[in-house]
Amino acid sequence: MGLPYFKRAENRLKGPDDYHDTHGPLILETGPCKNPLFQAFLNSTEQAGYPLTDDVNGYRQEGFGAFDRNISRGRRLSAARAYLHPVLKQRPNLDVICRAFTTKILFDGKKAIGVEFIKGKKGRAQTIHSSEVICCGGAINSPQILQLSGVGNAEELEKLGIKPVHDLPGVGENMQDHLEVYVQYKCKKPVSLNPSLKWWKKPFIGYQWLFHRSGAAATNHFEAGGFIRSNNEVEYPNIQFHFLPLAIRYDGSQPSHDHGYQVHVGPMYSNAIGSVKIKSADPKQHPALRFNYLSTDQDRKEWVEAIRCARKIMNQPAFDEFNGGETSPGNHIQTDDDILDWVAKDAETALHPSCTCKMGKDDMAVVDPDTMKVHGVENLRVADASVMPYVTNGNIYAPVMMVAEKACDLILGNTLEPPSTAGFYRHKA
């Protein structure tokens, strides 16, 4: 999609350069990294032989440093808050219907003419007609709604009692994602964020956020991390790290009772490919999600390398004053098979599902990259993470914004942004 499309979207508080701008609606704040555990982490990455970088989203992705986050005044700046909320009262042609469940896209022959939806748990089906439909349900809901509407593998749809509108076998195929684990350590010094989880701390944390937009609730805490090549055979960084001065699971469960810290780690471009398939014609029934994690030799190899690289970093002298020992997976996990068994049991999605309605011109492509229109039907486009041909080498939020920005130009018939001429770092083996 091209770097200019994210430059157009962003307002980086640190200032503009060849890779960032300061005029877009999405505000980017660089992590302050004030907790001493962040500095220990960055020092340890250097001691382990990895470089530091000023910006993992700039000239050099490979290396470690402070991360940019879409946070403004202590609050996550979502796409809705950045783009939608400012114009809700300014656009007479814009209606937003919340808590509505889309059940199908309506077709007249092969022409999309609107959508059917249900508002509320017991609401009746309603329809809205339109000269064009743009599907932005993401990598799970977009292929689901296409399949429910008769666009997909015709043979599979017919078995479910759905009359095919267009045979498009790539719908729901090519599912890709990022998987990650936490390598956790006990902290010998009382400097981690674990005390912030105590119930009696919450009123003060709430006060800090409500009245000063500061404190523990004003950051996502993933303020530092980086990317490395796990071996010299790969040309670009293939492993990502996020450091957290806290020992806890992604969903907030199982916090450490003592001070602790962790690094999140996982491969960036695994070749494990899955699918999203509806199981019935009932739109309320969840589709079958098959991610196929750890199903390829490359994926398994990179997982072993990722854990060994993480341990190498986390056990450097820079952590000596803090390192109270590995608590997860634990020192008993040593062999390749041990590591893979632990990853299979403990890993979680990084919530980056993508690629299930991929752009392209081949037989399994779903979306035309020149128009964002669905192949074989009229007046229907898709603009979300599902159109990516392969998962991006990093978090997918910024690339999705780039997809949306360029889709807007294509839909409106605007002159497209020129390709970026900014250079980027290449490793010379």
pLDDT tens readout for residues 87-109: 999 999 899 999 999 999 999 99
Strands 100-108 and 111-119: antiparallel
Quick: pLDDT tens for 243-262: 999 998 877 787 888 999 99
Smallest CA-to-CA distance from 189 within 318, 315, 317, 322 is with 322
The angle at the Cα of 343, spanning 38 to 237, to the nearest 5 degrees, equals 55
- Predicted pLDDT at 256: 83
159 — phi, psi (to 5°)? Answer: -65, -25
Tokens at residue 388, please? 């990516």
Give the SS3 label for residue 287. Answer: coil
First to last CA, the chain: 28
pLDDT digits (tens, 9 = 90+) for 313-347: 999 999 999 999 999 999 999 999 999 999 999 99
Question: Which value, to the nearest 10 degrees, does the dihedral of the CA atoms of residues 293, 295, 300, 301 take?
Answer: -130
Residues 398 and 12: their CA atoms lie apart, in Å, by 13
CA atoms of 181 and 190, how far apart (whole Å): 24
Distances from the Cα of 35 to the Cα of 190, 218, 229, angstroms:
11, 14, 27
Model confidence band, residue 7 (pLDDT cutoffs 50, 70, 90) = confident
Concerning whether 352 is annotated as a catalytic residue, the answer is: yes
Mean pLDDT of the chain: 94
A 10 A CB-CB count for 223 gives 23
Give the per-residue pLDDT at 2: 56
Is the Cβ–Cβ distance between 379 and 371 less than 8 Å? no
Report the alpha-carbon distance of residue 424 to residue 240 in Å, rounded: 18
pLDDT tens, residue by residue, 267-323:
999 999 999 999 999 999 999 999 999 999 999 999 999 999 999 999 999 999 999
Per-residue pLDDT, 123:
82
Report which of residues 45 and 5 the model is more confident about: 45
> Does the pLDDT of residue 428 top 90, yes or no?
no
Are 321 and 188 within 8 A, CB to CB? yes
Q: Per-residue pLDDT for 56 more than 50?
A: yes
Rounded Cα–Cα distance for residues 277 and 275 (Å)? 6
CA 92 to chain centre: 32
What is residue 1's predicted lDDT score, i.e. its pLDDT? 46
The answer to whether the pTM exceeds 0.85 is: yes
Whether the Cβ atoms of residue 389 and residue 366 lie closer than 8 Å to each other: no
- Among the listed residues 85, 352, 375, 427, the single catalytic one is 352
Percent of the chain exceeding pLDDT 90 equals: 88
38: Cα separation from own chain's centroid = 23
Q: Which candidate, 25, 35, 1, 77, places its Cα nearest to that of 245?
A: 35
Instruction: Express each pLDDT in 23-40 by its tens digit.
Output: 999 999 999 999 999 999
